[in-house]
Chains A and B, each alone.
Chain A
Amino acid sequence: MPPDRLTRIFHAIAALAVVVMMLTVVADVVLRFVFNIPVRGAYDVVSFGLLVMVFFGMAPVVARQGEILIDIVDGLLPAAVLGLLKLLASLGTLGFFLFLGWAMLGPARDAYTYGDRSLELGIPLWSLWAVAFVGLAGTVWEALRRLRGAGRAAPDTASAAQEAKS
């Protein structure tokens, strides 16, 4: 299944987050060594960068089936059974992310009602939960797409490294 536009956008956002994390820390180091100015907020920016990377990066991982799995049964079982197992994985993935979305509602609501804030910059945490939900929605969409594909039994057995490295 070629990546759809949503996957590409999410992948780009996650990649941007990694670059922002790297540059923030480098800027912090440079300012500290050269000008002896500590950057206030580097800690928060890195944590938020990570959050964006994880929640937006899961959609491309799900879309390309880039998850690490153990495929020793592949040579032993008939193709029909393998197809069934893949369907099971896609179903499980979708089920998990739907459950996660529901499970995150409570704590997100709490973060909003209690006015939780980040430690360094005092950013309201509900905004981060909102970002996480956007990433999660994309992941659910990809899980749905994959389920539809698995129903048609795509013979694609790519695993994490191969995909990531290709």
Chain B
Amino acid sequence: MSAFALGLTGIGSMFLLLFLRQPVWLALALVGIVGNMVLNDVSVAALLAGTGTFDTASGYGLSVIPLFVLMGEVASSSRMSAELFGAARVFTAGVRGGLSIASIAASGAFGAICGSSVATAASMTRIALPEMQKAGYEDGYAAASVAAGGSLGILIPPSIILVIYGSIAEASVARLFAASLIPGIVLMLLYVMVSVLLAGRAGPPPGAERVSLAERFRALLRPWQFMLLFLVSIGGIYVGIFSPNEAASVGAFGAVVIGFLRRTLSAQGFIRAVQATVIISCALFMIIIGATMFANFVVQTRLPERLLALAQTAELSPALVMALIVLLYIVMGCFLEGIGMVLITVPVFLPVVTGFGFDPIWFGVLVAVLVELGLITPPVGMNLFIIKAQSAALSMGTLYRGILPFLIAPVLLVALLFAVPQLALWLPGVLY
């Protein structure tokens, strides 16, 4: 079998294992190891597995992942996500679809201190979904609002995906964070637009509660401790006094201090937050370890290069090649998990993309948006699974139908990024 065919077989088997409900990390790792055995031999497969795991687990660059997860977990344990939702809810009171808008806005805000989409979605599901269901929102619409809003977690900085991209592309993480802020806010607004458009059909008529404009704005100031946390930690990255790692640690520490001072965080709550951080982070690291092995195998089959060479022999214009790359990401996003996608594709595509004169920081933002889209595209969308896992009564089909109209928002943002690259590049240009 040629390396090319072997690569395709490997990817096919990986998908098969995923659909047979094998853990994502295991599917990636098994195909990576077996593929390497076929391609080379057992000793090579062993070396790459043994050193790859140890190096991933002891790499300073990725240590920022548990720290940002911890910050989000502590903030969630000390009821900050609930307060955000509460504030947004007052602000949108009386608006048709108000709770859906509130959950998207609160997710976006929470994403500003939480680096993981999965964690953002998980946190918001528990808070917002029951409220919407109680108020008579259509199941699919309600769940999709949470899924879409939660996906903002990796575009609005901090972002685990951008940290991983930065380590592959040798790009400054601080710059990537600055570049993704405005696109993140734009995407949040686009999601809100979709939600408003759907509200007439899927949302119940608003209640009769009357809230004055002054009260609405006062409500927005209520989660001030959250804003403080954001300003000190993430703001610290923008101003340049913190590295991402320091921002995450100071942010997590700050969240603990605020939680204890306000008595919203107990010692028990803190311990639970740290324990949850371990489980979430280790589940992520197992995927990174598996994805490293899988990427290592796929890279050796030269599959991405051959696809690219095909495009080049066809003498496609840069615009068309970029369109194909975007399309490839969208298709892969339907089936693959985000970290694996980044590990496999970025080393191959980045030189081509920069060769066309695109900025690597801009490409990082583009990749983050596409990965984010992948989190909510059926059939394999992590955010959808997270929500499904927490609401047994919800059928996967309802969730799939509910999310479809929301997919237009990230697609629009991709088009916007091509039309107006300054959307991503203006802020880092000003800050650095």
Q: Is there an interface contact between B54 and A26, defined as CB atoms closer than 8 Å?
A: no
Q: Is there an interface contact between A104 and B53, defined as CB atoms closer than 8 Å?
A: yes
Cross-interface CB contact of B276 among A29, A70, A72, A165, cutoff 8 Å = A165
Instruction: Check if A88 is an interface residue, CB within 8 A of chain B.
Output: yes
> In the bound complex, what is the Cα–Cα distance between A29 and B253 (angstroms)?
12
Cross-interface CB contact of A96 among B29, B382, B385, B388, cutoff 8 Å = B29
Contact with B along A1-23 (1 / 0, CB 8 A): 00000000001001100110111
Q: Is there an interface contact between A25 and B279, defined as CB atoms closer than 8 Å?
A: no
Name, among A11, A69, A73, the residue most crowded by chain B CB atoms within 10 Å (CB to CB).
Answer: A69
Given A85-B20, A93-B23, A159-B389, decide whether A54 and B282 contact each other with a Cβ distance below 8 A.
Answer: yes
Q: Is there an interface contact between A67 and B58, defined as CB atoms closer than 8 Å?
A: no
Given A19-B274, A161-B118, decide whether A47 and B22 contact each other with a Cβ distance below 8 A.
Answer: no
Interface of A is mostly: helix
Instruction: Check if B207 is an interface residue, CB within 8 A of chain A.
Output: no
What is the total of A-B residue contacts with beta carbons within 8 Å?
Answer: 211
Given A64-B279, A96-B29, A165-B126, decide whether A72 and B396 contact each other with a Cβ distance below 8 A.
Answer: yes
Name, among B21, B62, B242, B248, the residue most crowded by chain A CB atoms within 10 Å (CB to CB).
Answer: B21
Given A22-B249, A96-B30, A107-B50, decide whether A66 and B279 contact each other with a Cβ distance below 8 A.
Answer: yes
Name, among B30, B122, B281, B282, the residue most crowded by chain A CB atoms within 10 Å (CB to CB).
Answer: B282
Instruction: Check if A138 is an interface residue, CB within 8 A of chain B.
Output: no
Q: Is there an interface contact between B253 and A67, defined as CB atoms closer than 8 Å?
A: no
Q: Is there an interface contact between B390 and A162, defined as CB atoms closer than 8 Å?
A: yes
Q: Is there an interface contact between A21 and B67, defined as CB atoms closer than 8 Å?
A: yes
Q: Is there an interface contact between B21 and A70, defined as CB atoms closer than 8 Å?
A: yes
Given A61-B282, A67-B24, A161-B386, decide whether A50 and B58 contact each other with a Cβ distance below 8 A.
Answer: yes
> In the bound complex, what is the Cα–Cα distance between A146 and B197 (angstroms)?
48
Nearest B residue (CB) for A75: B396
Contacts A96-B30, A132-B54 supplied; 8 other A-B pairs, CB < 8 Å = A29-B250, A54-B281, A70-B380, A75-B396, A85-B22, A99-B33, A162-B389, A164-B279
Report B's interface with A, CB cutoff 8 A. 18-26, 29-30, 33, 45-47, 49-51, 53-54, 56-60, 62-63, 66-67, 70, 118, 121-123, 126, 241-242, 245-246, 248-250, 252-253, 271, 274-283, 285-287, 337, 379-380, 382, 385-386, 388-390, 395-396
Ordered by A's residue number, 10 sampled pairs between the chains whose C-beta atoms are within 8 Å are A15-B271, A15-B278, A25-B245, A49-B63, A53-B281, A73-B20, A93-B26, A102-B46, A103-B50, A128-B54
Report A's interface with B, CB cutoff 8 A. 11, 14-15, 18-19, 21-26, 28-29, 33, 43, 46-51, 53-55, 57-58, 60-61, 64, 66-75, 82, 85-86, 88-89, 92-93, 96, 99-100, 102-108, 128-129, 132, 158-165
